[in-house]
Every structure is written in C-alpha cells, then in structure tokens.
Structure 1
C-alpha cells in the first residue's frame, strides 16, 4: 500500500464521501462502538454541515482513489454548545477549565482508519494533518475509555487524558493534545 495523506478543505473532503462512509462503517462496527452501517449515513449527513464550522479542516488517506482513512477537526465554540457530549465535558472539567482549555481550541471530531490499514502510520499522519495549526497548540478530543487500543494509540502520540470517563454510564473522556499548554497543568485525569 502506498497511501498518501491529503489535508483538504470541507468541499474537497466531501468529494470523498463514499470512501469516508465505507471507512466510518468499517472502523466503528466493532466494540466498543458497535455502530450499524446506517450510522455511517448519519455521519455523512452531519459532515455535510460540519464542513461549514469555523476553523474546519479535514484530511484523507488515499491509496490511489481508495480512501483508507480520514480525520476532521474544527475550532471549538465559545462557550461549548449544550448538545452532543459537551454538557458532560463541561461537568467533568468545570466551566473555568472548559473555557480556558477547550473553547477556541481545535477539537478533533473524528479519526478513522480502515481496519486492514492499521499499523501503517495513517492514524498518526491524519491526526497530525488536522492538528498542526491548533491555536497555541490547544488541540483536544473525546474518546471512549472502553476503546483500549484507541486510548493506547493517543497516549503513544503524547495525548493525555484530562478527565475521568463521564458519569451516568458514559465512557467518554477528554484528551489534550501533545502541545496543549494545559496538558501538564494538573495530573490528569481530573
């Protein structure tokens, strides 16, 4: 495989929607995600809106025309919205840390690589492509602590867990990027 990672603006990323759908469906089908194939369609509908977010950036790993992986990120809103996992994030970090550490930073929304392409460095390269311009190095993401391989991957790359998994049965935790100034401010997880 001779995959090449391309950083693309929103419309350029959407040109690869069929491949992104296939990667999403394959990458998130297994535990702990257990996504059914229809969730890939829901993701594509959301992506069509997400590409219009302030600071949106995307990257795609291609082997010829075949999509092997993708990543998306954007500038976090100030304050964080009251939807998705944001209220749990704010509850876990507290409003002051949320505002200082996350708001206005670069939020990595999705990172996915075809299972057959794991171990080629694509995840690392995709993640670096979408985070390299993070304001003051402030990149962050949410992931499930039940995804052991995913957590180990982020930790190997220098990402640091900043919260315990969210309460109420959610296994979501905030990870701060390797250049995030708050990464060493406390001994995570909070």
Structure 2
C-alpha cells in the first residue's frame, strides 16, 4: 500500500494567509519572516522565493483590500445625499469591512507605523479621499460628524474584533452584518430629513 502524497495548496497563498494572521496577532513589526515560515510549515527561503521581503509580503497581503477600497471610493461619489443610494453604500461598506476585516485591522491599527509602505499609503489616501468626498456632500457639521461616527465606528468594531479573542468575532457573521447595517442606518436616518431641508 502506497501512501498518497500530501497535497498542499498554493504556497504563496498559504504564506499570505499566515502572514495576514500574524500581522494581526503580533503586528507587522512583531512578525518575522522566520515566524511566518514556521507557522506556514515552510523554510524561510521559501518565503523569500515567493516574496522578496517582508514588505513585499505585506504588499501582497493588503493589495486586494486596497484595490477594493479604491473601487468602493469611485462607486460611492455622489451617493451620500440620496437615501436609497446611501443605504446601498452602507451595505457595500459593511460587506467590504466583513470581507477585509483583518486587512482593515492592519490599516487602521498599524497604519501610522507603516507609513511609507506604498500599499499602506495608498489605503490611507483612499480613506482620506472617501472621507473628503462624503464630507463635501453634507452641508452641516452635525451631518458630517454623524456620518463619520457611523462609518468609522463600523470600521473600528470590525477592525478591533479581528482577533479571535473578541466577542464580535465569535458571533455568526450574518448576524454581525445585519446588526452593523441596522445600527449604521439608524445613525444615518437623521441625514435623510436634514438633507431634505437643505
């Protein structure tokens, strides 16, 4: 009887997944290439074969999330003043955060210390552009603050719950999604009446 060989997935994808987990759990600066290699079951040379450096690995880890926030930005411009479009945006934003909550954790919680790394700088620029675009659509300070608290609060809840120790990560994601959409929408309800008066 011959043992069938163990089939592993794509090494680069496995390394990205392990790096993402370690960058969240221990931080980018706290996770070494050797730790990533060990956790993934590869030699450090295998990591360096697929990624020239730890920064290149971080770029590969964050790039899909950053590209998606760029798409979200472009499709969101001009939508905040219309109630139906705003509701659709809220759902897209929450879905984005749920899909990329670990990447959001890195960008939100480690972004300052990772300044100068192109993918992180791109993410921060997109977030600033998104914020500026929405803020320019709202005429009053109270409206701008309400929107900022709603969106940043949702991002913070999911970014800080990215570790397995937090209660939100233990909830079924569909329940978390529905709760976040409901709460963010409730926070934004006054915008509809305020905007109709302006």
TM-score by length of 1: 0.28
- Relative to total residues, which structure has the larger strand share, 1 or 2? 1
* Larger RCO, structure (CA 8 Å, separation 6 or more): 2
Q: Which has the higher helix share?
A: 2
Larger Rg: 2
